[in-house]
Amino acid sequence: MLFLQLFSALIFYSQVQGVTPYSLQNCMVHEQWSKMIKVLCYHQNLPRVPSHLPWNVNNLDLSENQIASLRQSDFSKLSLLQVLNVSQNQIHLIEEGTFTHTSSLKILNLTSNQLRVLSSSMFDGLGNLTVLLLRENNIDRIEASAFAHLMKLKVIDLSSNKLHSLNALDVVFKVKSLEELHIRENNITNFTTKDIVNVPMWLRELDASHNPVSFIDVATDALYRLLSLDLSFSGTHNHITWIIQDPCFLKGLKRLYLGGIFMTPLDIGCGPKTELLFARGDPPK
């Protein structure tokens, strides 16, 4: 009898450990070791960020809702928030100051929203952010100091937007801590390193594939530390003119992806051999 009571008590205990006794309308609250609070509110048709979120939430998933804007007050009490997923909403506006009190945030997922301009103060306060995902928006402009205070940012994904030149990405290249940049599927027609003035010291990976690039001009050594460059499926008719003024301008390159484009292999790199990868497309004849 005692054994049975103990047994059911154990079951009860293991249940409360997974999910806390309190709940939030439309959301599930998971608590692990009473420290990691995860709040899941995805796919609930929410028109806005719920108020009364637990102050100590670390991980918040608001994806797949109908949220149209992020407001100053939405996250102002969530100073322990580390991961925020607001992907697959209708966000076209992020108010200035929205993130000023979420300085612990490390991952911000804004994939599949309606952002058009990244404004100067939009991301203020995100001094610990390492990953910023902005894929599948309508971004065609990034204001000069949009990323100015993101001192720890390592990964930016701007794929599937409307950016039209490397020049317009000047502000992205100014992020000193940047290691990985994805600008796949935009509207970039000229890829010339002359448009890249500042290059982050640690930038290792650049994915510029699936852009209507017809002209690649490696005219400076701006990208000489890059390890991986993806230019596959460039060009409108898959024809591409490549000018590389000095093979040493890409001397750090280990992998160059050229799948799906018609081009003869070039002499690139002047150190250890660069691997040319034609995966996902045919090698040029």
| Closer Cβ to ligand NAG, 126 or 206, answer by number | 126
For residues 211 to 240, the per-residue mask of contacts with ligand NAG, x marking binding by CB under 6 A and - elsewhere, is ----x-------------------------
CB within 8 Å of 246: residues ≥ 6 apart:
221
- Least distance from C-beta 5 to ligand NAG, angstroms? 37
DSSP state of 43: S
| Closer Cβ to ligand NAG, 78 or 223, answer by number | 78
Q: Which stretch, 27-35, 67-75, 90-98, 99-107, contacts ligand NAG (CB under 6 A)?
A: 99-107
Distance CA 251, CA 221 (A): 9
> Judged by CB under 6 A, which of 94, 115, 133, 216 binds ligand NAG?
133
Structure tokens at 240: 């591409």
Q: Which stretch, 23-31, 82-90, 202-210, 230-238, contacts ligand NAG (CB under 6 A)?
A: 82-90
> Judged by CB under 6 A, which of 50, 57, 63, 249 binds ligand NAG?
63
> Judged by CB under 6 A, which of 26, 69, 100, 104 binds ligand NAG?
104
Residue 48, CA distances (Å) to 75, 90, 98, 133, 153 in order: 12, 10, 14, 20, 27
Q: Judged by CB under 6 A, does residue 164 bind ligand NAG?
A: yes
Buried-exposed string 222-241: b where 16+ CB fall within 10 A, e elsewhere: bbbbbebbbbbbbbeeeebe
Residues that bind ligand NAG (CB under 6 A): 42, 61, 63, 83, 85, 87-88, 103-104, 107, 109, 111-112, 127-128, 133, 162, 164-165, 187, 189-190, 215
